[in-house]
Structures are given as structure tokens and as C-alpha cells.
Amino acid sequence: MIFATIHGERVPALGFGTWHLRGDAGCDAVRYAIDVGYRHIDTAARYENEAEVGRAVARSGLPRSDFFVATKLHYLELDPDQIERRTVEGLERLDMSQVDLLMPHWPSPTYPVGPIMQALREVQKKGYARHIGMSNFPVARMREAASAFGAPLFGNQVEYHPFLDQTAILRELRGEGMLLTACIPLARGAIVGEPVLEDIARAHRRTTAQVTLRWLVQQEGVIAIPKSGQRERIKDNFEIFDFTLTAEEMARIGALRGGRRLVDPDWAPVVWDPPAARPAPVA
Ligand SMILES: NC(=O)c1ccc[n+]([C@@H]2O[C@H](COP(=O)([O-])OP(=O)(O)OC[C@H]3O[C@@H](n4cnc5c(N)ncnc54)[C@H](OP(=O)(O)O)[C@@H]3O)[C@@H](O)[C@H]2O)c1
């Protein structure tokens, strides 16, 4: 495992995404991921599977302190006066007294960022969440959030894969000593068949998914949370710690970056950060 360091603490750089993993099959998938070695698990109120995640963690028999559990408050449940109640409800579903990371799932379409972040700070002070982060916040919102929060934030969970340029957000996060959690890291499977990734995968005798995940966690300040409901892929996606991409390979993948955003719902923030200028192609 590679670890990222945030505010002096080590966080597993490869986590397990759980969107769509519900019911017994969802719980079994998380349980299997734990057997494989994942210790960082990402869930959300909106995924309606916090109970399954909590059950899988409990059934592993491992101490709670072995895990880094992240969850998110529903973007429609960000009334600052209700944030503590929503947080406690999430903890009840997880059957945990504290999460390691709590984020608003999206900037609220209704409430301003400042009071939301102040309410989250109170939740943190009460011990319900060890870290507070953001999800789907463009740079301008990140700055507003950080200034209202008034204490170190964990980072920002945003869509990030080889086809989506996130230079602006990554630069801002690094400057502030925060982490970027790459959600949708496999571009929901669209990485399979991409010629540059296939070429590099062949050279390392790896899959395109492994090369993509390696590319993400090999970047400073980036962690990733791939999801799979299939045992073989859950295991494959974890086997990325015994090879390294060269600087040239990292740059070749980096040069694929563009504006292919897969998740852009009606409630998404307004204006996303524009892509950086395209890098020069690597010879
Ligand atoms: N903050 C947010 O707004 C937000 C948004 C989206 C996602 N997320 C989080 O990020 C996690 C990951 O994102 P995601 O699930 O949308 O997308 P993803 O991890 O990029 O891709 C998951 C998809 O790729 C397939 N897949 C998994 N491993 C593969 C492999 N080795 N080769 C080929 N295909 C593979 C999976 O199918 P199988 O299951 O059939 O293997 C699934 O359809 C989510 O589960 C969630 O925890 C957060």
C-alpha cells in the first residue's frame, strides 16, 4: 500500500468505492475488498449503503482503527441547522461513533458554503468526524469553504481520470497541503482499449485499470477510490503496489487529459474550472 500524508496522518492512497453496492451482494463486495487488503472505504448517504459498509467492517473482525471510512452528506441535506442531525443519522446507519472523513457530497444548490462549513466544524469538534473535506467543489468554492472552516481541511473528492484535466484543483489542493481523492478513477471502464494505456499496460504486463490507478496514486497528493462489484476486478485493482511507472509513462498518460467529464448532474456547481493548456506531447 502507498499512503498519502495529511495533517501528519497516513491515509491509504487506494480506497474502495461503493456506489451501487447495496444489499447482501454489496456487503459481500466490501467484505471481500477488506480481505484483499483495502482499508479505506468510501460511501455516502446518497448511495444508501452506509449500513452495508458498516456491516462489512464489523464482520471483518478487524479493529475499527484499522480503517479509514469516508462518507458524504446528501447535497439536499445541507441545511446548516440540520447537519449535525444528518451526520448522526449517517453514523447510526454505519453503526460507528465517528467517521474518518465527512464531506458535503456537492456544494449545496440552496445554502451558502460558509454556514455549511461552520456547521461541519462543529460536528468535527464534537468528535463525529476526524476530518472534514469537500466533494465536487471547484476552486472558488474550495477557497470560500476553507476560509469559513477556519481549520485544516482534508481535501476535495472530484472526478479524476486520464481523460479529465483537474490541474487547477490539484494545484490549489497541493498549495494548501490537501489531498485530491479521485472518484470515477477508471472513467467507469472507458479506460479499457485506450491505446496509450493499453501500450503501457502491455509493457508492464498489467491491465489498463492497474496502470490508470497506478498513474493516479503515483501523483503527489492524489488518492483514488475505484469501485467494482466483481471479485476478480476488486483484487486486480488492488495489485498496483509492486510496479512503478516511469516519468515518461506518467507524462504520456498525463497528455491524454481533456474535458471528458462523466458526472455533471443538474445540481452540479455552476462553473467548473477550465482545463489547463495542453502539455506538449512526449516524444
Ligand atoms: N463524490 C462524487 O460525487 C462521486 C461520484 C461518483 C463516484 N464516487 C465514488 O467513487 C467511486 C468510484 O467511481 P465509479 O464507481 O463511479 O466509477 P469507476 O470506479 O471509475 O468505475 C467503476 C466501473 O468500472 C468497472 N470496473 C471496475 N474495475 C474494472 C476493471 N479493472 N476493468 C474494467 N472495468 C472495471 C465497474 O464494473 P464492475 O462493478 O462490474 O466491475 C464499474 O462499472 C464510487 O463507487 C464512489 O464511491 C463519488
User: What does each of the 283 residues of the chain score in pLDDT, given as a tens digit?
Assistant: 999 999 989 999 999 999 999 999 999 999 999 999 999 999 999 999 999 999 999 999 999 999 999 999 999 999 999 999 999 999 999 999 999 999 999 999 899 999 999 999 999 999 999 999 999 999 999 999 999 999 999 999 999 999 999 999 999 999 999 999 999 999 999 999 999 999 999 999 999 999 999 999 999 999 999 999 999 999 999 999 999 999 999 999 999 999 899 988 887 766 778 776 554 444 3
Ligand 1: which atom is nearest the Cα of residue 44?
47
Residue 40 Cα to ligand 1 midpoint, Å, equals: 15
**pLDDT at residue 275 in the model:** 74
Task: Name, in order, each residue with C-beta under 8 angstroms of 261's C-beta and a sequence gap of 6 or more.
Answer: 159, 164, 272
E strand or H helix at 169:
helix 167-175
Long-range contacts of 6-12 (CB under 8 A, 24+ apart): 6/131, 6/154, 6/155, 6/177, 6/178, 6/179, 7/131, 7/152, 7/154, 7/177, 11/40, 11/68, 11/179, 11/223, 12/38, 12/39, 12/40, 12/68, 12/223
Torsion of CA 21, 27, 28, 34, to 10 degrees: 100
**pLDDT at residue 276 in the model:** 67
Which residue has a Cα nearest atom 14 of ligand 1?
Answer: 184
- Among 184, 214, 239, the mutation site with the greatest number of ligand 1 atoms within 8 A of its Cβ is 184
Residue 125 Cα to ligand 1 midpoint, Å, equals: 32
CB atoms within 10 A of CB 72: 26
Pick the CATH number of 3-184+220-228 from 3.20.20.100, 3.90.920.10, 1.10.287.130, 3.30.2090.10: 3.20.20.100
Please pick, among 32, 38, 47, 128, the residue that the annotation labels catalytic: 47
Residue 115 Cα to ligand 1 midpoint, Å, equals: 32
**pLDDT at residue 282 in the model:** 40
